[in-house]
Amino acid sequence: MRQSITLVFIILALSALNVGCSPNSPTWLNPASPNATMATNLFNFIFTVAVIVFVVVEALLLYSVLRFRRKNENEMPAQIHGNTKMEIAWTLAPALVLVVVFGFTLQTLTALDEVPPGALQVKVTARQWWWQVEYVEQGVITANEIHLPINQAVNFSLEGVDVIHSFWVPELGGKTDVVPGKINKNTFRPTKLGTFHGQCAEFCGVAHANMRFTVVVESAEDFNKWVADQKKDIAIPASDLAKQGEQEFLKGVCIACHTL
């Protein structure tokens, strides 16, 4: 019985590990924009500082435990009451570390807030449970799919109409909360071609898992062609076969997912 429980536990643990083995999983560790690179560099810096502090503190703790332990019951270790130099040192050292981390963080946050001139203006409205995307200057409105030209800065105006959502494309930029009644901004400049996956990073209701979207980064020519295609009139089914297909779509199970 005990061996069976152990085997089940091992199988479940391996299954959980396999969840993260997809080569296409969204990750901020593989940045595809200068803004994402700055955020990743900030994390790497703070993580490195944290590891160094952890190693130093644990090493001193281990040294103290071993060096000053009681060797036998009849022996009392040397009792030390205060050390001014050490107290000053362990007060100034953390303060200096915090000042450096604060300075690097402030520099990064200031750079992330900058909106380059000529940025593409995109208005994103978060709804339960989909994203409305409006290209202000192009006059195009889409849903759950964002097309961007490579090396073109884009400035997102994020609005909510119901509950709090969070706009996040891990490879391209940091998370930005979308709050009803408030307009938040998110700016980045994609530097890699491809399709990137975004997700609402704030639990927003029973269909939160449907708050996924894609960002397609393409050449300027392909982007302009896509914009032109979006401006065309909707093709109305004319043939009997096309009309039959439309009815099958509307009455069948397809529309359960393909609602936008």
Percent residues over pLDDT 90 in the chain:
58
The domain in which residue 97 lies consists of 25-66+89-230
Contact 205, 186 (CB under 8 A): no
Q: Give the residue from 152, 128, 159 showing the smallest Cα distance to 138.
A: 152
Which CATH number covers residue 143?
Answer: 2.60.40.420
Q: How many domains does the chain have?
A: 1
218 in a structural domain: yes
238 in a structural domain: no
113 in a structural domain: yes
Q: What is the pLDDT of residues 43-97, one digit of tens each?
A: 999 999 999 999 999 999 999 888 877 777 777 767 777 788 888 988 999 999 9
Inform me whether the pLDDT recorded for 256 exceeds 70: no
Inform me whether the pLDDT recorded for 122 exceeds 80: yes
135 in a structural domain: yes
124 in a structural domain: yes
3 in a structural domain: no
73 in a structural domain: no
Q: What is the pLDDT of residues 188-200, one digit of tens each?
A: 999 999 999 999 9
The pLDDT score that the predictor gives to residue 119 is 94
C-alpha dihedral (44, 45, 48, 50), degrees to nearest 10: -110
The pLDDT score that the predictor gives to residue 144 is 93
C-alpha dihedral (244, 250, 254, 258), degrees to nearest 10: 120
Inform me whether the pLDDT recorded for 22 exceeds 70: no
74 in a structural domain: no
Q: What is the pLDDT of residues 103-114, one digit of tens each?
A: 999 999 999 888
The pLDDT score that the predictor gives to residue 215 is 96
